[in-house]
Amino acid sequence: GENVEQHPSTLSVQEGDSAVIKCTYSDSASNYFPWYKQELGKRPQLIIDIRSNVGEKKDQRIAVTLNKTAKHFSLHITETQPEDSAVYFCAAPSSGSARQLTFGSGTQLTVLP
């Protein structure tokens, strides 16, 4: 099945700096890559996703880049704010089922004021 590796597991940045979280996947047929944000005690929420026919997608301070050759994708958050502090999960479709997602192990992002 699909194997999704996520790094780093924890990340601390100063408010206003950028944060980058990286994920690799194993199945070259994967074509959909979402990112979820989970605040403490809350549900995971989709913040951005990208399909394999594009290399980058932006939504205000958040962007995702995809390198299909290297089989990795990254989340970029610019001008970080304290409310960006949360756990971020990447995901990729499980082999054999485009709808079933395998999640990375998560990155605890802390934005220091």
Give residues in contact with another protein (CB under 8 A).
1, 32, 34, 36, 42-46, 49, 89, 93-94, 97-106
CA distances for 12 relative to 55, 109, 113, angstroms: 27, 6, 11
Residue 34 CB, shortest distance to another protein, in Å, is 6
Quick check: 74 and 33 in contact, CB under 8 A?
Answer: no
Phi and psi at residue 65, to the nearest 5°: -120, 150
One-letter amino acid at 36 equals Y
Query: Toward another protein, which CB reaches closer, 40 or 70?
Result: 40
Residue 37 CB, shortest distance to another protein, in Å, is 11
Residue 19 CB, shortest distance to another protein, in Å, is 19
